[in-house]
A = this chain, B = another copy of it.
Amino acid sequence: MDWVLLAPLSALLSIVFGGYLFAQVHRVPVGSPEAARVSRAIKEGANAYLRTLYTALVIVAIIVSLALFFLFDVWTAAAYVFGATCSALAGYLGMQVALTANAKSATAAKQGLTAAFPVAFNAGGVMGMAVVGLAVLGMSVTYMISREPEIVLGFSFGATSLALLAKAGGGIYTKTADIGADLVGKVELTLPEDDPRNPAVIADLVGDNVGDVAGMGGDIFDSYVASVVAVMILGAAHMAKDPTAFGIHYVIVPLVFAAAGIVASIVGMLFVRTTEGENPTRALNTGTYATCVAFALLSLGIVYLLEVSLAVFWANVAGLVAGVVIGMTTDYYTSIEQKAVRTTAEAARTGAAINILTGFSYGLLSIIPPMIGIAIATIAAYAVAEAMGVPGMYGISISAVGMLSVSGMVVSSDAYGPIVDNAQGVAEMSGMHSEVVQVCAQMDAAGNTAKAITKGFAICAAGLTALALFGAYTETVHLRVLDLLRPTVIAGAFIGAMMPPAFSAMTILSVGKNAFKMIEEIRRQVREIPGLLEGTADPDYASCVRIASRGALWELVGPGLLAFSMPLIVGFLLGPAALGGFLAGSILVGVVFGLFMANAGGLWDNAKKYIEDGALGGPGSDEHKAAVVGDTVGDPFKDTAGPSVNTLLTVVALIATVFAPFIAKYALPVLYGWL
C-alpha cells in the first residue's frame, strides 16, 4: 500500500475539522453595533496590510521563480509558487476568522469564560488546522506528482519566502504600531490602553493579528515543511546508496508523521475545556500534553506499519521531549509567579536601567535548559539511530519532525492569543461592562503565556530544522566530514555567527525608524484634528495603518537581501565546506539570540504586568514607569527580532540546500582547487 496517501487524507480531515470550527465561530453573534464597528475597523486595517504583503510576495515570487525556472526546471519553479501560495492562503484564512472572532468572543464574554473561551480557541484552531492542513496537502500533492524530494524542496523554499516577509514584516509592523501607540498615547497624552481617541489604536490591534496570526503561522508553516523535506532528502540520499536496508518508507515516513500529527492535534484540541474561574492556561496545556501523548502513540503505530526501524520512533520522541522542556523553561522564565519576573520587577525600584539589566540577564540564563535540551536530543537521536543501523544525521532530522509534529495544536494556542488580546480591545473600545473586560483580561493573560511558549518552541524547532537542513545540505554536496580545523570552515562559522545579530539589529532599527514616523503622525493628528482628544471627532486610523504597513515591508529589503545573498556569497567564494561552517555558526548563534530575545521580552512584559497588578506601588508609580521602559525595549526583542531569527535560520539553510548542486560544481575553490 502507498502509505503516503495517508498524508492528503489527514490534510482533508484537518480541512473538514477546520471548517467545523469555523462554523462554530460563525454562529456566534457579533453583538452590539459598537463592537461590530471596532471589529470592522481592525479587519479593514488588517486586510490593507495583507494586500501590501501579498503584493510584495508576488514580486518576490516572480523574481525567484524565474530564477529557479532558468537554473533548475519548470517543476521546481511551479513547486516554489505553490509553496508560497499555500502558505499565504493558510495565513489569509486564519486571519479572516481571527478578525471576526475578536468581537464575537468579547460579546460571548458577557455570559462568562466558558462561553467566551471556546469562541476564541476555535477561531485559533481554524488557523492551526489551516497551517498544518495546507502544508501537508501541498507537500503530499507535490511529492505524489513528482516523486522527487528535490521538487518538494522547491515547495519549502516558496513557504520560506512568504515566512520571511510575513514574520519579519509582521514583526516590524506590530511593534511600530505598539510603540507608537504607547509612547504618544499612553505616556504623552496619558490615554488608557485601547482608547478609541488614540489614532494608532487600530494599527496596534491590527498588529497583534499581523504578527502573531499571519507571522507566526507563516513561520511554523515554514519550519514544519522544511523539517519534513530535510528528512525526505536525507532518506532519498541513503536509499540511493543502499535501497535494500533503506527503502522508500524512510523517504515518506516524515509525511506520514505529519499526517499523524494532524490527528493528534485534533485529539488534543478536544481536550481543551475550561470551567468558570479557572485559569485558561491549564486548559491549553492539557491540550498540548494530550497532543504529545496521542502523537507518540500514533508514531509508534506508524513505525510498525511502515516497517521502518524503531530508532525512528525514539528519535522522534527525543524531539518531542526537547520541545516540552523548552516550553516549560519559557513558562518558568516568563511566568509572573516565578523568581525571574519578580526579581526583574523588584529591580525597577532603582529605575529603568537595573530593571533592563536584570531582565537581560535572566533572558540570557533562560537559554541554558533549551541549549542543553537540544544537545541531549541531538546525541540521543543520533546514538539511537546509529545503534539500530540508521544514519545518525537522519535520526537528528527525524527529531526535528517530532518536535514540529504537534504544530497543529501549538499554532491553535498561539493564534488564540491575539484573538483574546483583540477581544479585550473591542470590549474596552465599545464600552462593555467592566466584568466583561475582566473575563477578556483573564483570557488575554493565558494568551500571553501561550504566545511566549510558542516563541520558544518556534525558535528551537527552527534550530533543529536548520540542523536537519544542514544534514541535507552536507549530503547534497557530498561532504562526508565538516572539519572545524579547516580555515574555510572556521571563517564560514565566524561569518555565519554574525548573521543573526546583524539581521536582528536591522529589524530593530527599522522598528525604531518607523515608530518615529508613527509618533510624528499621531502628534500631527492630535494637533490638527479639532475635538480629537475630547472624543467628538474620530482620528484617522487608516493613515496610521498605512505608515505601519508600508514601512514594515520596505524595511525588509536590506535584511532580506542579506539573508538571500550571504549563503551564496560564502558558498561560491569559499566553497561548500565554508558554507557548512556558515550554517553551523548561524544556527548556534541564532538559537542563542532567538531564545534570549523571546524570553527576555516576555519577562519584561510580565514584570510590568506584575506591577500593574498592584505589586511594588502599582500602576502609575515610578516602578511602573521604569518597568514600562523595560517592556518597550523588550517589545521588538520578542515580537520582531527574536522570531525573525527563526525564519533567518531556515531561509539560509534552505538557500544552501537548494543551490547546493551548483555550489558543489561552481564554487571558486572547487573550480581552482583552492583551500
A591 to B490, CA, bound (A): 13
B519 touches A350 (CB 8 A): yes
Which residue of B497, B512, B580, B636 contacts A347 across the interface (Cβ within 8 Å)? B512
A357-B508, A592-B498 given; A488·B365 CB < 8 A = no
**Contact residues in B for A372 (Cβ distance below 8 Å):** 494-495, 498
| Minimal Cβ-Cβ distance residue in B for A632 | B353
A644 proximal to B (CB < 8 A)? no
A519 to B351, CA, bound (A): 12
Which residue of B378, B491, B498 contacts A378 across the interface (Cβ within 8 Å)? B491
User: Which residues 350-386 of A sit at the B interface, judged by CB distance below 8 A?
Assistant: 350-354, 356-358, 360-365, 367-368, 371-372, 374-376, 378-379, 381-383
A382 to B76, CA, bound (A): 39
B360 touches A508 (CB 8 A): yes
A500 to B588, CA, bound (A): 12
| Minimal Cβ-Cβ distance residue in B for A184 | B350
A484 touches B482 (CB 8 A): yes
A381 to B488, CA, bound (A): 11
A491 to B381, CA, bound (A): 11
A617 proximal to B (CB < 8 A)? no
B482 touches A474 (CB 8 A): no
A467 proximal to B (CB < 8 A)? yes
A179 to B356, CA, bound (A): 14
Shortest CB-to-CB span from A500 to chain B, Å, is 9
How many copies of this protein are present in the complex? Answer: 2
A580 touches B383 (CB 8 A): no
A512 touches B467 (CB 8 A): no
Shortest CB-to-CB span from A498 to chain B, Å, is 4
A7 proximal to B (CB < 8 A)? no
Shortest CB-to-CB span from A388 to chain B, Å, is 15
A69 to B446, CA, bound (A): 58
**Contact residues in B for A596 (Cβ distance below 8 Å):** 501
A485 proximal to B (CB < 8 A)? yes
Residue of A351, A364, A506 with most chain B CB atoms under a 10 A cut-off: A364
**Contact residues in B for A425 (Cβ distance below 8 Å):** none
A592 to B367, CA, bound (A): 16
B187 touches A351 (CB 8 A): yes
**Contact residues in B for A484 (Cβ distance below 8 Å):** 482-484, 489, 580-581, 584
Q: Mark A460-488, 1 if CB is under 8 A from B, else 0.
A: 00000001000100100001111111011
B353 touches A633 (CB 8 A): yes
Which residue of B378, B504, B633 contacts A494 across the interface (Cβ within 8 Å)? B378
A382 touches B589 (CB 8 A): no
**Contact residues in B for A504 (Cβ distance below 8 Å):** 361, 364
A183 to B511, CA, bound (A): 30
B354 touches A515 (CB 8 A): yes
Which residue of B350, B351, B368 contacts A502 across the interface (Cβ within 8 Å)? B368
Q: Mark A648-675, 1 if CB is under 8 A from B, else 0.
A: 0000000000000000000000000011
| Minimal Cβ-Cβ distance residue in B for A380 | B487
B371 touches A495 (CB 8 A): yes
**Contact residues in B for A159 (Cβ distance below 8 Å):** none
A357 touches B494 (CB 8 A): no
A15 proximal to B (CB < 8 A)? no
A629 touches B351 (CB 8 A): yes
A516 touches B350 (CB 8 A): yes
**Contact residues in B for A354 (Cβ distance below 8 Å):** 179, 183, 512, 515-516, 632
**Contact residues in B for A481 (Cβ distance below 8 Å):** 481, 483, 485
A112 to B352, CA, bound (A): 40
A632 to B511, CA, bound (A): 23
**Contact residues in B for A494 (Cβ distance below 8 Å):** 371-372, 374-375, 378, 588, 591
A636 to B347, CA, bound (A): 15
| Minimal Cβ-Cβ distance residue in B for A635 | B353
29 contacting pairs across A/B (C-beta < 8 A): A183-B350, A183-B353, A183-B354, A351-B632, A352-B352, A354-B632, A356-B629, A358-B509, A360-B505, A360-B508, A361-B504, A361-B505, A361-B512, A362-B505, A364-B501, A364-B502, A374-B491, A378-B491, A379-B574, A383-B487, A383-B674, A393-B485, A471-B485, A480-B485, A481-B485, A482-B484, A493-B584, A501-B596, A588-B589
